[in-house]
Amino acid sequence: MPTDVTQLSEEAQSLARVPLFKRLEPHELEKLAEEIDQVDYKAGEVIFNEHDHGDALYVVEEGSVRIWVTDEDLNEVTLAELQPGQFFGELAVLDRGERSSSATAI
């Protein structure tokens, strides 16, 4: 069992750099790394849409992600652009509700 971050798998080391997971012990990071799925998205590809059921949280490993909503005039309004190390989608997972925004790879 790894005792420090330098002994972790590449996936667990990536998780260790995410603020949400910084307080996890090395063995907890490894366990979490075993449970995640790595998914690659092309620029312009929608990751999820507003009002979708929230069944996963996402961590940006490389590239960037635009978080946006559609306003009452059906215009897309950008709320944030996320960079590597940032995470998103956690609210719908925690409250088991609908997504409050959409996410697109950029």
pLDDT tens profile 20-75: 898 999 999 999 999 888 899 999 999 999 999 998 989 999 999 999 999 999 99
The residues near 56 (Cβ < 8 Å, ≥ 6 apart) are 89, 93
Q: Residue 88: pLDDT band by 50, 70, 90 thresholds?
A: very high
Measured CA to CA, the distance from residue 79 to residue 68 in angstroms comes to: 5
Q: What residue spans define the domains of the chain? A: 5-35, 46-105
Closest CA to 62 of 35, 42, 84: 84
CB neighbours (10 Å) of residue 33?
19
Please state the pTM of the whole predicted model: 0.80
Q: Which two tokens stand for residue 70?
A: 């559609």
Q: Would you state the CATH architecture of domain 46-105?
A: Sandwich (2.60)
